[in-house]
Structure 1
Amino acid sequence: MYTLNLKEVELTPQIDEKKIFENNDEIKLERLVVEYITKNYQDTYKNPITLGRKVREAIKDEKGQTESDRSKKSTEEFVNSVDKENQARRKTEEFTDEEMDSKFNELSAWNRVERDKVWDEYNPKIEEAENEEERRKLDEEMKLKLDDVEFEHSQKFDTLSEEKRKKVESLTN
């Protein structure tokens, strides 16, 4: 059984509501909580990538451990998994067009370049940080910037996917 105490979700501004969510499926629990927060705190948390990550970080398993406690996944692994998911989604599309493929490739390249810029900016700062508190703060800043890049990438990807869908539709009619 997975649980989440709404007060333990580290958001800015902090939610001061005492509410416990439970579900046997971690992903369903995440979706349930994100949906609850989105519905009840409209326009407060605008970036769904950040909101989802913050909720995931607060979910505890039956042993009271968070995902971070169970596995010390790096931010890069998270970003790469989203990249793979996007690539898999593209591969499932039946229609392939050189122009659209080129646009998707450019978008992927843009995403890699932007992520690398963030990594190049923050990794030296994190390594040179004088204490753990400063490292954590810099790490969180880096994660937020990576979330913003990923959110922008997903928006651009959705726009391209819609463009491709319309193009396929126009060819089949």
Structure 2
Amino acid sequence: MRRDETLRIGLSAPGLLLRVLVVLVAVAAATLLGATPVWLAVVGVLAVFGAVTPVYAGAWMAAAVLVGLLIVPGPDGGRAALVVAAVHALHVLGALSLVVPATARVSLRALRPTAVRFAWMQAVGQVVVLAIGAIPSRGSFPLAVIAGAAAVFALTLGARLMLGPSRLAAFPRAARRSPSADAEPSVGGRS
């Protein structure tokens, strides 16, 4: 590719946007959780650290602090649903930040499968949070254990179904290629 050539990838977003979203999601979630200014600053610093240097897992550390902010005052349904969504978004954005340079552009078409998986897992996760929130709190420990086990089973089954298809099917051109196509062509028509 020469300097005067351009690569057209269709609708795209700057890679820097993924890192900015890490900070926005973390700070917005901490604010909506009602974090004190000190914890809001901790989440913000960790998120910025994760955005600047994604290799050091600042996004995941910010997600861990959000979980702590949920647990300390006692979880309720709305706060738990918010934390499930925010932690999952931070995980996805942090992982994407590891592979997409800030100076690059990422095709929105390439982000579509990630967005679909995010939506599916959020649907499952939010249903689980709603189901656990519906369990009465007095004397319900055995029922909570059964519900938790069912949730883990459902999540494992969902992950298995999503990861089950052959990865080779994702590359139809490679799948159609026969082994004989890789062989050296014969010279002079003889094998």
The TM tier, using the shorter chain, reads 0.3 to 0.5
Select the structure with the greater relative contact order (CA < 8 A; seq sep ≥ 6): 2
TM-score by length of 2: 0.32
Length-normalised TM-score, structure 1: 0.35
**Larger of the two Rg values belongs to structure:** 2
